[in-house]
Structure 1
């Protein structure tokens, strides 16, 4: 699941990654589903619960006091300590809601943004991190 606002430069890195993954035709595998949640991941809770995946990987830009493009798996208990952002529902609440009555593993991957100004493309450092992330996922999936 890619989360973020594509009109705010690096904040749109989650949806950017989903679009890149869809280009690879990986989703043809019935075990894989990509969700471009934009700024409303809560709109997909029903779909996620219905599919009952073994894993849900959420990727979003988040302020972690690192260098632009740094990637980190963020523990759900640390959500309060990082800047996750432009979404109508807090991701910590979203994750807690999904965990009710489910047993799938939720992994949150944060990517440090360089800019959250209005622009429809990620900055080069963050785009490079996104490409690395896509390649890592492809290596795991394929």
Structure 2
């Protein structure tokens, strides 16, 4: 699941990753579902629960006091210590809601943004990090 606002430069890194993965036709594998949640991941809770996946990977831009493009798996207990992007529902609340009555594992991947100004594409550092993440993910799932 990619989360973020595509019109705010690096905040759109989650949707950017999902779009690139869909272009690769990896989703044709019945075991994969890519969701471009934009700024409303809560709109997809029903779909996620219906699919009952083994894992949910959420990718979003987040301020972690790192260098632009740094990628980090963020523990859900650390959500309060980082700045998560511009969506309507708190991701910590969203994750807690998804976990209720389910067995799937939730992995949150944060990518340090460089700019959250209005622009329709990520900065070079964040785009490179996103493409590196896509390669890693494809190596695992393909």
TM-score, normalised by the number of residues in structure 2 = 0.99
RMSD of aligned residue pairs (Cα, Å): 0.3
Gaps of 5+ in 1: none
- Deviation, 1:10, is 0.0
Q: Tell me whether 1:102 sits opposite 2:102 in the alignment.
A: yes
SS where residue 14 of structure 1 aligns?
Answer: helix
Instruction: Give the equivalent residue in structure 1 for 2:47.
Output: 47
Distance 2:119 2:32 in 1: 30
Aligned residues: 142
TM-score, normalized by length of structure 1? 0.99
Q: Name the counterpart of 2:10.
A: 10
Task: Look up the SS of the partner of 2:17 in the other structure.
Answer: helix
Mapped contact 2:72–2:109 kept (Cα < 8 A): yes
What is the deviation of 1:116? Answer: 0.1
Map residues 18-33 of structure 1 onto 2, 5 A cutoff.
18-33=18-33
Aligned to 1:67: 67
TM-fit CA distance, 1:13: 0.2
